[in-house]
Amino acid sequence: MLELRPNCECCDKDLPPDSTEAVICTFECTFCRSCASDVLNHQCPNCGGNFAPRPVRLFALLEKFPASMNRILNARGCGGSP
């Protein structure tokens, strides 16, 4: 099951479980669409893999299968910016 992490690792933008703006890599490193395309050039900075759009979890399912509250932010920043 996906963790559905609550934010973009790059810019810390909120990505709620019903967001259609979230993309993930195979390890579920989570980014917003604009970071994935404009900053990361469609490659995960952690594992080098590609991104896929994160499936939306319907509200009715979130009660039983809650999304992660654990915000992860890439301390090194991303996209090679200092």
Report the interface residues with Zn ion, using CB under 5 A.
8, 10-11, 13, 25, 27, 29, 32, 35, 44, 46-47
Nearer to Zn ion, 59 or 74 (CB): 74
Q: Which residue has the tokens 């996209």?
A: 79
Distance CA 65, CA 37 (A): 29
> 3-class DSSP state for residue 60?
helix
Smallest separation (angstroms) from Zn ion to the CB of 59: 23
Nearer to Zn ion, 49 or 66 (CB): 49
Nearer to Zn ion, 27 or 65 (CB): 27
Pairing of strands 52-53, 30-32: unpaired
